[in-house]
Amino acid sequence: MTSKKGAATAATREEVDSAIAALTDVELVRLQRFAIARIARIGAAADGRDYQELLSESYRRILGSRVWNKDVALVDHLFGTIRSVSSHWAQEFARELDAGRNLISSDRDTRTDRATAETAPSGVPDAERMVIARDLLFHVRELFAQDELAREIIAGWEEELDGPAIREILGIEQTVFDSKVRAIRRRLIDEGLKAASKKGNKS
């Protein structure tokens, strides 16, 4: 059931249209660069689609199924939508590949297939590790809630982008990037030392 707060902050179609029209040139360039990076990341899974098609599909999503909560900046919502759409394309591509492999290998010895599946390592993290990773990520985001550049760099790391790709998307110089990365690391180290100190005082 949708909460009253959620209903109050969900943007109308008119508000979405107005917010898209109000995006700055800098924001549009950042979105374009991010879309280019996502297409490069999913590679063949893009299936011939380019960054412009990714952007167009992302815009369609927020005008339709992917509701924009106005508590979140539209540009951040668009970053998330671009990520979601490209990930969906990659997942669909992987499913199609798996289906093709299954069709080709349908005449193989099922006992061999079963033995291979049982000995193969699982690619899905267990529930406990997923919870720990989620909580850690939430804590890191909270630490840098007031630092937009730090948040953007961390978001790039979440996407497993390298330094040059992040700098290209954000349009920042190497020196600015390096300085902010050092600041992020110092903050994380300081927070780790504080946590260790608190733990030691309790024992």
Structure-block tokens of residue 146: 């007031």
Cα gap 113→21, rounded to integer Å: 54
pLDDT at site 6: 42
Mean pLDDT of 54-67: 88
- pLDDT greater than 80 at residue 114: no
Cα gap 18→125, rounded to integer Å: 41
Cα gap 79→83, rounded to integer Å: 6
* CATH class entry, domain 126-203: mainly alpha
Cα gap 146→22, rounded to integer Å: 23
pLDDT tens digit sequence for 136-168: 666 777 888 888 888 888 877 777 778 888 888
For the chain, the structural domain boundaries read 9-107, 126-203
Is pTM, for the whole model, over 0.75? no
Q: What is the mean pLDDT of the chain?
A: 76
pLDDT at site 78: 92
- pLDDT greater than 80 at residue 132: no
pLDDT tens digit sequence for 12-22: 888 998 999 99
pLDDT at site 153: 85
